[in-house]
Structures are given as structure tokens and as C-alpha cells.
């Protein structure tokens, strides 16, 4: 009985707290293995990269200066999880349509087929603006390698449908190139939580 009462009190307490926007933000941790060197703690950072987007423009770290961004990996002919992940990316895109400090970055992992013109047609199908959502291609090795920095898997695997193995994660990167949050891009509820994290990170800056 007593526990019920305190539980109820707790719930009421929570619902009062949660009326405050944006719902109890905690500082998002920097993810990844820390490296402690003497007095300094080094956090893993996203390395330099250069890719090309659907408008044949170069996209590199500078493109995201002063912004936070969300990353995923996909390929156009993907018969498995990609369309679901894209649908969730589109949700994120639409939810933050009025927020120029957030940009989306999707990497194809099928660089042979997903040429710039095909990425362009795909972007048109999604109905997206290039400066808000870059669909990029580049050197295959560069893309597979940087996937690891984004806590994602991307590689060729003839044994899986479509011929590529990859995780359907969405990853959130801050202005200092640190990974701050990720979620399962096939699961709408996981993405709900992720979008709260995005809002919290925006409010941090």
C-alpha cells in the first residue's frame, strides 16, 4: 500500500516536471572509449572526410561547422531495412524543418550503383532540400571506414539480401565532432527518444 502511494506521488511529481520544456534534458554523454593522457581526456572524434552529394557538391567537416548532424548508411536498391530507416530520417527532417542548425547526412554504401544522378533522383523522390539533407557517395573504403567512427557497420556481404550488410542506426554528432546519441532507425519509438536528444543537444548550444 505504502509503495503505491509513494509511486503515485512519484508519478505526479514526474508529470509536473515533464510540463517543463523540453522534458527534463540531461547533458548527453560523449559516446565511445575515452583516452586519458596525463591531464587530458580525449574523446573519440569523427575524422576528416570528403564526400560528394546529390548536387555534385563536396561535403566535408566544414559543411557541418557550427551545426549538429544526424548520420545514416543506406543504398537505393536495399530490399531490407533501408526504406524504414529512410522513413524515420524523413520524420526527423520534417520535425526539425525550421531548425537550420540541424543537418542530415546519408551515406550510400553501394557506390557503384548509387551515382550522383541516382542520388539526385532519390532526393527528389524524398522531396528534400540539399542544404538540409546530403545524400553522399565517395570512395568505398572511406565510407566503410568512417561507418566505424559512427558506431555503424557497413560492408559488402554477398550472403545477405541486396549484397550489403549494415546497421540501421541513426547517429547524432555535435559541433565538436563527438557522437552524442544513436538509435535504431527501424523503430519509431527509439527514434522518438532520439528526437528528444536532438532537441536537448540543440538547447545545450
Partner 1 sequence: MAACQQPYSQGKALYESACGSCHMTDGTGLAGLIPPLSGSDLIRTRPDLLPCIIQNGMEGKLLVNGQEYDQVMAPVTGINAVEMANILNYIQSEWGDPGLFYSPDRIQQILSTCGSGPVNLGNTGAE
Residues that bind partner 1 (CB under 8 A): 76-77, 79-84, 86-87, 90, 121-122, 124-127
Of 93, 123, 163, 23, the closest CA to residue 154 belongs to 163
- Shortest distance in whole angstroms from residue 17 CB to partner 1: 33
> What is the distance between the alpha carbons of residues 65 and 52, in angstroms, rounded to a whole number?
17
22/161 with CB nearer partner 1 = 161
Give the start-end residues of each E strand in the chain: 35-37, 40-42, 50-52, 58-60, 68-74, 102-108, 133-136, 154-156, 164-166, 169-173, 179-184
| Cβ contact 150:122 at 8 Å | no
- Shortest distance in whole angstroms from residue 113 CB to partner 1: 11
49/164 with CB nearer partner 1 = 164
Q: How many residues does the chain have?
A: 205
- Shortest distance in whole angstroms from residue 105 CB to partner 1: 18
97/121 with CB nearer partner 1 = 121
- Shortest distance in whole angstroms from residue 162 CB to partner 1: 9
- Shortest distance in whole angstroms from residue 186 CB to partner 1: 9
52/81 with CB nearer partner 1 = 81
| Cβ contact 173:181 at 8 Å | no
- Shortest distance in whole angstroms from residue 149 CB to partner 1: 27
Query: Which letter, b or e, does each residue of 47-78 get, where b requires 16 or more Cβ atoms within 10 Å of its Cβ?
Result: eebebbbbeeeebeeebbeebbbbbbbbbbeb
191/200 with CB nearer partner 1 = 191
> What is the distance between the alpha carbons of residues 36 and 42, in angstroms, rounded to a whole number?
6
18/77 with CB nearer partner 1 = 77
Amino acid at each position: 500500500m505504502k509503495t503505491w502511494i509513494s509511486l503515485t506521488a512519484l508519478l505526479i511529481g514526474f508529470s509536473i516536471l515533464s510540463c517543463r520544456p523540453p522534458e527534463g534534458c540531461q547533458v548527453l554523454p560523449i559516446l565511445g572509449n575515452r583516452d586519458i593522457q596525463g591531464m587530458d581526456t580525449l574523446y573519440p572524434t569523427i575524422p576528416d572526410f570528403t564526400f560528394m552529394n546529390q548536387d555534385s557538391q563536396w561535403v566535408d567537416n566544414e559543411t557541418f561547422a557550427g551545426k549538429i548532424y544526424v548520420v545514416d548508411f543506406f543504398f537505393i536498391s536495399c530490399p531490407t531495412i533501408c526504406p524504414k530507416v529512410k522513413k524515420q530520417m524523413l520524420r526527423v527532417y520534417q520535425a526539425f524543418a525550421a531548425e537550420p542548425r540541424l543537418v542530415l547526412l546519408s551515406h550510400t554504401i553501394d557506390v557503384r550503383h548509387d551515382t550522383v544522378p541516382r542520388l539526385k533522383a532519390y532526393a527528389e523522390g524524398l522531396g528534400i532540400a540539399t542544404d538540409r539533407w546530403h545524400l553522399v557517395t565517395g570512395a568505398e573504403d572511406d565510407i566503410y571506414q568512417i561507418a566505424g567512427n559512427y558506431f555503424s557497420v557497413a560492408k559488402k556481404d554477398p550472403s545477405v539480401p541486396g549484397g550489403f550488410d549494415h546497421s540501421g542506426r541513426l547517429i547524432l554528432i555535435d559541433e565538436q565532432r563527438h557522437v552524442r546519441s544513436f538509435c535504431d532507425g527501424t523503430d519509431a519509438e527509439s527514434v522518438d527518444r532520439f528526437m528528444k536528444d536532438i532537441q536537448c543537444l540543440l538547447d545545450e548550444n
